[in-house]
Structure 1
């Protein structure tokens, strides 16, 4: 029998062909064409990433051969693979040289400005008795001032542009230094290797596929949501932001994105015994209640997966995302369910370099008919906020992720997409619309003594909310307010208006006493909503929070 240890080792050239990315790792497949001799051959895969998990290595392939053994090795070596690191070192040296050059340019601008100021000072302060003193007529003065202004502006502008350039160079240097640290220059002394023993009855060509798990790569969903007010159509452009720095570039690979979370483990946690004991009672603290417009569900419609509205300018919108007359089509992905997870298979080939930079990969784009609704909390804001409701009629679930929202081609806000399964409805906030007029007025506030001897004090509040639709089409409107919640015995709250007995399509009250009024306003229609309540408490009780 042939001794396996005596078999020559054949190092093959392999390429990454398939990658499946999870939320914290990736399954990578490398492929190689090999020429097998009759008998036993040992095939060696070199230059594997350091983050490889030795427990997840598998070898498959096409050919009439049998896999005898697969060995994972960590080898020490003296020589350092210089190609990638030399590229970084050369780039660092180039940037440092360029920084020195720009720094010298700034110094020249500053010296020129100082020289110009010195000449100006000498000319303007020289007396007629000084040797060489200038005697300038008005025309010469104008020429001198024009020269000073022109040159001073030229030096200031040149210095400003040079400083901006120097700042860009410094940022580029920071990234190169970070890449050098990540690469482990002057520290990396080991390499990962997989050797495969194959037995073949004849000499033949075969294709081997080496698959392994690497930790670190990840992807997160991102969205561009575009809403058209004329067609009332919502277009959801679904992207995946993929990043990795495994040490190997993924060039021209078949890319898949999985929603599985291997880090959670495959088994539920166990319950420990739940033990309780008695202790001396302590005075209970009063419970505080707060009111937030973000916490309001939409009680006037069907079950809602809300998109929390966060107005701000801190999100960067890519220039390619601006509205275009004839938008370029994005490549799509197919979707399949693998057990409890979903896999998106991106069409075509993808390039994801090992630079830890987010690569924006198109997943899908779907157009959905939407229904508009205005939502307002007059107590907190004199504005009505437009939002659109749509049903996810596509095959892809919308996962949690950031979304840029555009209304009629204009960026209006950045928001957070919640999980939306196919067939499920969701809401998108589109910003405030000042053409929907909202007012909130305190009509009357008074108190009276009630009961025998005036032992009870009654506080009464009357408000009037007004909403006017100035649009040329009917619009749905939902208005919010709330009743205070009693947290003490003897403190009673009673709703006076509106009259309420049970929830209806037009009026609802939730468990935390938030009230919603719903109505469709005709063009130009004004809607007045009276709201009043009373609070009764013992005369000697101080009411906080009212």
Structure 2
């Protein structure tokens, strides 16, 4: 008996076409965090049947970027045919923390509605009381036979009215206070809920990624799914400790990571990258700059339509470019964490490329999806430093310590806040600008009473000169005293300023230090240099316990009949 082959083939194809999808029980193994997004890697082991199968990764965040999906497999020989994503709407969220907060928010809203109902009842009672008072106060009609109320009756009515009015006012104040307390609790609960949702609208939706796979035989396949999603970020932070005995800065580089993606990262391989995928792969296109004769409003509106289409097209292209990014080091993220290497940088493993740097954190990291700031160590290194005191005694008679050093690491120090310490004492918080490898930079280490500086007005006198044309001259003399109370030789740099004339009739002359002692910006002096806008800069090297007195003397001359502003 011959069995027709075609129906069997069609039946087999139909069975494959309608085979139930295989749900992937996946876990997050790695995440590469950028300044405005993250690339998350999931791993799932699938028992594949022979033939074509659909593997589904359900419950993924709705902010997943579809065109960033990448899938690899290892195990039984298989071919990945297609990868796609779709939005799935759900009735309830799966996150138990979100469920708890949503339930608390609903309960608070119900309490507020109950209070509003009580307030409505009070308003009705108050309106009824007003009606009673108005009805009693109405004059009796002329044909009325009932006697007029006696004085005691009016007294009872007044008591009734005042007692009930007071009760209603007290009850209303109590209800208003309860509503205010509820509003505070509601705002706090809503804020926590927004944090967990990553500040995204509370739309109940997830994404499901479907992977179509063809395998010639049954077997286990380890499927790795990587995708980018918004809601994550990292920024740099630093601790800078000056070791005074060593004259060195111990710089610790941290990454402050925020995860608002909707997925908790538990014990994952974490990488922080300086790449900027949102900028796309190339420079933006330059468009013509059109200059034309001004036309009436109607003509200008019609003429501007093609230009608007052009910019709309540009906007669409820019949006597509912003999404069609390439992730530097994604292959490394899929492959897991490499072995730790020996380096003077002790915490993170550095991976550099032509355009960015990546820091692979050597220990497993756990970052909850609540948008809270989580600090992870990136690197720590020691930098030789030159110490120098800065002062502007005209403004403040205080010397501030600064450390000048060079970024001797192989990676850039990105702009971020710096907590500075003098040995083990916290000094201040400042901000570091971006410093590339080999670039010099400085750190402000706060005021130090070990170096004292004082500025005193010794003399100020005015005199009139000239016989035919009267000239007025005002001479100032200041004494600046600098004392090094440290046990070591220190460099002190302080600044002062001469008046700057904006009119040729006003002449400013520097009398002390002399012109010979004063250098210029192009040719600095041995101790003092005159810069632009009348600024004078002294650079002194004082031994331990040494004291120096600096004289600053200058004059301002102008015609006697000229009124000059700005003089002290």
Q: Report the TM-score when normalising by structure 1.
A: 0.70
Name the structure 2 match of 1:521: 542
**Change in 2 beyond 3 A, CA 1:91/1:370:** farther
Distance 1:543 1:346 in 2: 64
Written as runs of structure 1 = structure 2, the 5 A alignment for 1:175-324 is: 176-181=189-194, 188-265=203-280, 266-268=282-284, 270=286, 273=289
Distance 1:452 1:436 in 2: 49
Written as runs of structure 1 = structure 2, the 5 A alignment for 1:425-436 is: 425-436=440-451
> Are 1:422 and 2:443 an aligned pair?
no
Q: What is the deviation of 1:449?
A: 4.1
> Are 1:41 and 2:53 an aligned pair?
yes
Unaligned runs of 5+ in 1: 97-168, 278-329
> Are 1:530 and 2:551 an aligned pair?
yes
Name the structure 1 match of 2:341: none
**Change in 2 beyond 3 A, CA 1:62/1:441:** same
Name the structure 2 match of 1:132: none
Written as runs of structure 1 = structure 2, the 5 A alignment for 1:118-517 is: 176-181=189-194, 188-265=203-280, 266-268=282-284, 270=286, 273=289, 332-449=347-464, 453-498=468-513, 499=515, 500-502=518-520, 503-504=524-525, 506-517=527-538
> Are 1:16 and 2:28 an aligned pair?
yes
SS in 2 for 1:382: strand
SS in 2 for 1:403: strand
**Change in 2 beyond 3 A, CA 1:251/1:481:** same
SS in 2 for 1:55: helix
Name the structure 2 match of 1:71: 84
Deviation per residue, 1:392-416 (Å, 9 max, x gap): 2223322211111111211111111
Name the structure 1 match of 2:330: none
Q: What is the deviation of 1:36?
A: 1.9
Unaligned runs of 5+ in 2: 1-8, 110-181, 294-344
Distance 1:471 1:428 in 2: 20
Deviation per residue, 1:126-160 (Å, 9 max, x gap): xxxxxxxxxxxxxxxxxxxxxxxxxxxxxxxxxxx
Contact 1:331-1:347 within 8 A present in 2 as well: no
Distance 1:44 1:65 in 2: 16
Contact 1:331-1:362 within 8 A present in 2 as well: no
Distance 2:184 2:429 in 1: 27
The structure with the larger Rg is: 2
Contact 1:385-1:433 within 8 A present in 2 as well: yes
SS in 2 for 1:52: coil
Distance 2:360 2:107 in 1: 41
Q: What is the deviation of 1:371?
A: 2.4
Name the structure 2 match of 1:152: none
Q: What is the deviation of 1:217?
A: 0.9
Name the structure 1 match of 2:331: none
Give the helix-richer structure, 1 or 2: 2
Distance 1:272 1:492 in 2: 52
**Change in 2 beyond 3 A, CA 1:53/1:474:** same
SS in 1 for 2:385: strand
SS in 1 for 2:67: strand
SS in 2 for 1:543: coil
Name which of 40, 43, 54 aligns with 1:28: 40
Q: How many residues end up aligned between the 2 structures? A: 422
**Change in 2 beyond 3 A, CA 1:36/1:522:** same
Name which of 63, 72, 75 aligns with 1:51: 63
Distance 2:263 2:439 in 1: 40
SS in 1 for 2:241: strand
Distance 1:175 1:20 in 2: 31
Name the structure 1 match of 2:5: none
> Are 1:85 and 2:98 an aligned pair?
yes
